[in-house]
Amino acid sequence: MSNFSIHFAQNRMVMGDYGFFPQVQYSIWINIKLVLMADPLLILERIAVVTGANKGIGLEICRQLASNGVMVVLTARDEKKGIEAVQKSLMADDGLSDNLMFHQLDVLDPSSIVSLADFLRTQFGKLDILVNNAAIIGLEVDTDAFVPSAKHMPEEYINWKEVSMQTYELAEECLQTNYYGAKRTIEAFVPLLQLSDSGRIVNVSSLSGKLKFVGNKWAQTILGDADSLTEERVDEVLNEFLKDFKADLLEVIGWPSFLSAYTLSKAALNAYTRILAKKYPKVMINSVCPGYVKTDINCHRGTLSVEEGAESPVWLALLPEGEPSGVFFSQKNVSPF
């Protein structure tokens, strides 16, 4: 039987290796036995939270951090999927059993974020690493049309516009998840990161978020002006984008016509990275494109494995003191915004 650790924050019936446990008033781990308190020694370890981590790059980031001796809190919106991800990881590598646990987190739900922050404060008293990985593509892909045409077709010949659709509702959800979800999470966790001797925030971004792909010259100027960047200015850009999207004016105004919301969400996340680095100089804060990785978001058409894709976010999370902050990396190379 695998030795695994899963955290449940809710007071309700839960199931472990030995069946159902009755309601309790404590956060618990199932680690072969019922434990009502975290091991005090965990306080001395580095503690990491990875969002959107039940699959793909996020899950592999958790595995690699745990393999480096970091206590990792794997989070996911769907509790069942998150628990299954932990169980499968530990069955594949029982050596991670002391360094991997699950906590539910929905970055769209402020109360869910607060719940996790309270848990971290109570159990560990700090946070060392936050990896903002939760993201959606903001498209509806017609898989019935995509899969047959793409099965034997090189990437450069796939017409993604023909097999996908953008809607205003999807654009809103994309911005709320990829940018505002990360922002809400950071705001809640910064006080805990400031208690660490080596606080790190890694924002998983994309080359799509580079300013040259934003298209709109006004937006490029605002997001590219590091000296006058503010959160309010980023909001202004996103609000204007949504207004033009709703009015069906994206191409007329110069916004990207494909992956529009995804591009803007990642450009905003990159801009926010620069703002945060100035605001919190004691915390090392960077954004990174992990490369074109085979994930659900691109229907597994990427060129890199998830193991390769996780390398650069993990590398940034474990960087020693004195390394750059407020920088965009393309994998492990500094790249212009």
Query: Which residues are the active-site residues?
Result: 262
Report the candidate in 64, 56, 54 with the shortest Cα–Cα distance to residue 304.
56
Tell me the C-alpha distance between 6 and 99, whole Å. Answer: 10
Amino acid occupying residue 264: L
- Gap between the Cα atoms of 146 and 253, Å rounded: 29
Both structure tokens of 130: 């936050």
**What region does 11 belong to: left with phi over 0, alpha with psi -120 to 50, or beta?**
beta
* Residue 180 tokens, joined: 């505002």
> What are the start-end ranges of the E strands in 159-228?
164-165, 200-204
| Separation of alpha carbons 104 and 172, rounded Å | 23
- Taking the C-alpha atoms of residue 156 and residue 136, their distance in angstroms, rounded to an integer, is 22
- What are the contacts of 35-44 at 24+ separation with CB within 8 A? 38/123, 38/124, 42/71, 42/123, 42/124, 43/124, 43/125, 43/126
Round to whole Å and give the CA distance between 243 and 121: 39
Of residues 280, 68, 246, the one with CA closest to residue 170: 246
Q: Report d(CA 211, CA 192) in Å as an integer.
A: 31
